[in-house]
Amino acid sequence: MKFEEKLILLRKQKGLSQEDLADLLNVSRQAVSRWELGTTLPDAPNLLALSDLFKVSIDYMLRDDYESAEDISNSIEPKTDTPRSKRSSHKWFLVAFVCWLVSALCHLCSAIINFVAGDINFGAMYISLMGVNIVFAVLFFVRYLKSRKSDKK
């Protein structure tokens, strides 16, 4: 089924006239007419609006080989995590964890330098930033451990 046929069908199922649809999309009735005649296609923002309005995917709207919404669910494989993608996501958890720890160490060094230089205020500020980094690193690592545990199930 072609785009224009799907558009006509979806518009009529919603009980909309060309003018009603044009008003909803803030386009002219002639634009809707050209889409339904197949002389033009809507631009990307209008295609997104049509997809949202009719509660169908853009893929369904544009692919001629999709006759109904059921064709979409039959043609798209469900996304599953492969072991490789799981390893990749775990790697990013560890990278973020290490970055937070390095940041905490940098703040500790800055605090020590400022305390030695006699600037107590900046030293205290860097100590508090170090504490915040450590808290986030620990929370992030706990989440990482929980995700590893759920992956093993």
The full 3-state SS of 46-82, as one line of letters, equals HHHHHHHHHCCCHHHHHCCCCCCHHHHHHHCCCCCCC
pLDDT digits (tens, 9 = 90+) for 102-131: 888 888 888 888 888 888 888 888 888 888
- Tell me which fold the domain 3-75 belongs to: 434 Repressor (Amino-terminal Domain) (1.10.260)
Mean pLDDT of the chain: 80
State pTM to two decimals. Answer: 0.46
**Closest to 13 in 3D by CA, of 65, 72, 62, 69:** 69
pLDDT digits (tens, 9 = 90+) for 7-52: 999 999 989 999 999 999 999 999 999 999 999 999 988 998 998 9
**How do the domains of the chain map onto residue ranges?**
3-75, 83-152
The better pLDDT of the pair 94, 44 is held by: 44
Whether residue 135 is predicted with pLDDT greater than 80 in this model: the reply is: yes
Task: Say which amino acid occupies 134.
Answer: I
Query: What span, in angstroms and rounded, lies between the C-alpha atoms of 109 and 130?
Result: 10
